[in-house]
């Protein structure tokens, strides 16, 4: 029999229990839940300066619920949000269709679109990151150096949030839906600088921006080649069957070229193109799944 967790007496303990209660949930959901609860608890503490943290936590548990109850509410709320992507528990039956079921999976086309866009976004992220790093170091000896570096770090956090929204929209990976919290206005510039530099997600997000250029180049090439080759086979075969003129040329294999100038050969070429197209869709879906894991690891703060 599992013993219930003791009532949390501090904000840190409450958040830790909530984190454990949400174990197994998407990282983006956990991040949003922790940020929401931390903001709410800190607000309650600020509004009741005459009470101790333990007393405030006891009132919060009685009024709003235990961490386990809050976690259950977040899980239920997540299931009510409509999405074009099937939930994990509903995808099991689809897999029985095997190789060709990829054509009916929205993640396939989202991943393909993400791969085509990744070159442009990768160039932008990389340019922004490199320029910001260079200017931050270059201006550090001046009085505007630290404020500029803080603004650059804030921009990286915003870009990471925007990228998270793109990843969720196209790849179906649950990412944080809250903007990163800003430091308190009454904090000094050195405190803000220390917090920004000690936050691991500042550096992982920056690394993600730099990483997106090589990844974007690879993704774009895979998408373009994966679409061009099968469409070339299918288009060329259909053109040959309709017009009676085949344009397939294979100088190193004249016998195979002769076959591709016949109706059965053109039909076989079209079939090969269709099979390559499905392989390309599977590759796109695999790339989308892999990049979703990378985005979760580098952009989600837990």
**Into how many domains does the chain fold?**
3
Please compute the mean of the pLDDT values over residues 242-248 and round it to a whole number.
73
122 and 203 fall within a common domain: yes
Gap between the Cα atoms of 127 and 138, Å rounded: 16
Residue 86: per-residue pLDDT: 62
**117 burial class (0-12, 13-18, 19+ CB within 10 angstroms)?**
middle
132 and 201 fall within a common domain: yes
154 and 167 fall within a common domain: yes
98 part of a folded domain: no
Q: Which of 153, 174, 209 is the last residue of a domain?
A: 209
Contact present, 28 and 300 (Cβ < 8 Å): yes
Residue 94: per-residue pLDDT: 47
Gap between the Cα atoms of 155 and 224, Å rounded: 31
277 part of a folded domain: yes
pLDDT in tens, 141-167: 888 888 888 889 989 999 999 999 999
193 and 247 fall within a common domain: no
pTM: 0.83
73 part of a folded domain: yes
Gap between the Cα atoms of 177 and 210, Å rounded: 23
154 and 191 fall within a common domain: yes
Q: Which of 60, 81, 102 is the last residue of a domain?
A: 81
What's the half-sphere exposure (Cβ side, CA atoms, 13 Å) at 16? 9
Q: Which of 178, 193, 209 is the last residue of a domain?
A: 209
28 part of a folded domain: yes
22 part of a folded domain: yes
Residue 277: per-residue pLDDT: 94
Residue 98: per-residue pLDDT: 67
Residue 299: per-residue pLDDT: 92
What domain range includes position 292? Answer: 214-299
268 and 224 fall within a common domain: yes
pLDDT in tens, 170-189: 999 999 988 765 555 555 66
75 and 153 fall within a common domain: no
Gap between the Cα atoms of 105 and 91, Å rounded: 9
96 part of a folded domain: no
188 part of a folded domain: yes
122 and 46 fall within a common domain: no
284 part of a folded domain: yes
pLDDT in tens, 10-62: 888 899 999 999 998 999 999 999 989 988 888 888 888 888 888 888 888 88
Contact present, 153 and 196 (Cβ < 8 Å): yes
Give the residue with greater pLDDT, 225 vs 178.
225
Gap between the Cα atoms of 163 and 169, Å rounded: 10
Question: Is the predicted pLDDT of residue 137 greater than 70, yes or no?
Answer: yes
Give the residue with greater pLDDT, 77 vs 205.
205
Q: What is the DSSP code string of the chain?
A: -PPPPPPP-SHHHHHHHHHHHTTTS-HHHHHHHHHHHHHHHHHHHHH-TTS-HHHHHHHHHHHH--HHHHHHHHHHHHHHS--SSPPGGGSTGGGGGGGGGGGG-HHHHHHHHHHHHHHHHHHHHHHHHHHHHHHHHHTTTSTTHHHHHHHHHHHHHHHHHHHHHHHHHHH------SPPPPPPTTS-HHHHHHHHHH-HHHHHHHHHHHHHHHHHHHHHHHHHHHHHHHHHHHHHHHHHHHHS------TT-HHHHHHTTSHHHHHHHHHHHHHHHHHHHHHHHHHHHHHHHHHHHHH---
pLDDT in tens, 78-118: 887 766 676 554 444 444 456 788 888 889 999 999 999 99
């Amino acid at each position: 029999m599992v013993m219930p967790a003791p009532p949390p007496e501090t904000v840190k303990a409450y958040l830790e229990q909530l984190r454990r209660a949400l174990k197994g949930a998407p990282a983006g959901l956990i991040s949003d839940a922790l940020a929401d609860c931390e903001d709410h608890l800190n607000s309650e503490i600020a509004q009741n300066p005459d009470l101790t943290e333990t007393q405030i936590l006891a009132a919060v548990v009685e009024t709003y619920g235990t961490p386990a109850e809050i976690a259950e509410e977040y899980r239920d709320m997540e299931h009510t949000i409509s999405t074009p992507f099937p939930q994990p528990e509903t995808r099991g039956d689809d897999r029985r269709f095997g190789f060709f079921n990829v054509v009916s999976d929205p993640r396939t086309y989202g991943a393909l679109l993400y791969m085509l866009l990744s070159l442009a976004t990768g160039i932008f992220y990389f340019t922004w990151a490199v320029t910001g790093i260079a200017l931050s170091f270059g201006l550090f000896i001046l009085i505007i150096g630290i404020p500029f570096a803080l603004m650059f770090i804030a921009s990286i956090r915003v870009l990471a949030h925007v990228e998270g929204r793109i990843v969720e929209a196209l790849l179906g990976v649950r990412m944080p839906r809250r903007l990163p919290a800003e430091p308190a206005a009454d904090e000094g510039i050195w405190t803000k600088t220390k917090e920004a530099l000690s936050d691991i997600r500042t550096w992982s997000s920056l690394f993600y921006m730099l990483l997106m250029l090589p990844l974007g180049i690879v993704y774009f090439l895979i998408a373009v080649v994966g679409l061009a080759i099968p469409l070339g086979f299918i288009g060329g075969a259909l053109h040959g069957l309709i017009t009676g003129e085949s344009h397939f040329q294979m100088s190193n294999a004249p016998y195979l070229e002769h076959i591709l100038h016949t109706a059965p050969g053109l039909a076989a070429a079209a079939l090969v193109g269709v099979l390559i197209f499905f392989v390309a869709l599977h590759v796109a879906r695999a790339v989308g799944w892999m990049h979703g894991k990378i985005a979760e690891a580098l952009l989600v703060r837990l």
